Amino acid sequence: MTTLDQYNFAGKRALVRVDFNVPLNDKFEITDDTRIAATVPTIKKIVADGGSCVLMSHLGRPKDGPTDKFSLRHLVAHLSETFGQTVKFADDCIGQSAASQSASLKEGEILLLENLRFYKEEEKGDVGFAQKLAALADVWVMDAFGTAHRAHASTAVIGQFFKDRVCGYVMQAELDNAQKVLKNAQRPFTAIMGGAKISDKILIIERLLDTVDNLIIGGGMTYTFTKAQGGAIGKSLLEADKQELTLTILSKAKQKGVNLVIPSDNVCADAFSNDANRQTVATGQIPDGWQGLDIGPASIKTFTDILLQSKTILWNGPMGVFEFPNFAAGTDAIAEAVVKATEENGAFSLIGGGDSAAAVNNAGYGHRVSYVSTGGGALLEYMEGKVLPGVAALE
């Protein structure tokens, strides 16, 4: 695969698939520009070489064609400030406006196309739509790791129309860091798997059982493990049809010599609300009518001790309902332990996108871990051993 540093963009017009799917408030202001900031080095390299950039992205999930709240024009002011130049905007991603503005780009100029998902053809992976996009430039740069697991028109299908296909810096860093954890992990290697459902994480858990020394399980999925072992979980989250599976996971971990740890205590609530009454109970002893929403202090101590002895850490998924401040202590404590292991003990820490990335960034720890992935689902699928269409299209 051709990397950015191997390619000279002088005199070339690059069509760059970026991931500008950023959160906006009700005034259409960007509330977290992590994804935009991540792509800046890629765009600056193209411009510095003497090339021009046509940027394409999706934003949100528009259902019925063009909708103002999903328009990428809301990002233009922020992008112009970021790059110190007026970033041009085409009010369509194909058609006359996109074609004429792309064709008239001068060296060093940047054009942003309107939301790709205003066309249903994007997510369908339509070949004709991909060909229309490809007509806008000389070289395709794929830098949207967060959508690399989707065979969409702009992320994968488009590759067939370019002789020159280049892997951007975000993609390269994501793949390099995932490989570092999968293939070259220093030991002890600890994975922390949180989140609501076992069904979302089963493939990655099974793969990790072949590579990790410690596997910490947190979040909503812990209650299915507890219930399967005869514990009382009140009205906590339960995947009843996955109880047998949790027993298989526990047994496999034992066979493979993996230290699989589930919480020993839970903070539970009498309602799914930040203001609910709460109490801390031992795992398997949640009263009827109550639900577990976070890990307790004993679990925090156990998990922290394991992390501080680790040399490689992979974290995907929160320990509880961290959106509620009263039930965020477990997730915050894990973030602090990962930072401490990284800064004081030299551990390599990879934070896997989505909620765990939000938890780390919101606590202001993003720059204090080794790498925060921009793609939750894509990273998981890559680590499960699946071929990502957006990666295959570059090879």
Q: Which active-site residues does the annotation give?
A: 35, 197, 354, 377
CA distance 182 to 202: 17
The answer to whether the CB of 278 falls within 8 A of the CB of 324 is no
The encoded tokens of residue 24 equal: 């906006």
If you ran DSSP here, which 8-state letter would residue 5 be given? G
The encoded tokens of residue 152 equal: 């969409």
CA distance 31 to 239: 34
Torsion of CA 16, 18, 24, 30, to 10 degrees: -80
The answer to whether the CB of 379 falls within 8 A of the CB of 174 is yes
The encoded tokens of residue 10 equal: 């002088």
If you ran DSSP here, which 8-state letter would residue 20 be given? -
Cα dihedral sign, 285-286-292-298: negative
Kindly give the residue spans of alpha helices, DSSP state H, lying in the chain: 34-49, 76-83, 95-103, 120-124, 127-134, 169-183, 198-208, 222-228, 243-255, 297-308, 329-345, 354-362, 376-383, 389-392
Residue with tokens 């858990």: 205
Closest to 176 (Cα-Cα) out of 355, 367, 16, 5: 5
CA distance 110 to 145: 21
The encoded tokens of residue 380 equal: 């998981």
CA distance 281 to 105: 63
Q: What value does the CA radius of gyration of the chain take, rounded to a whole number of Å?
A: 23
CA distance 135 to 159: 12
Residue 143 has, within 13 A of its CA and on its CB side, a CA count of 32
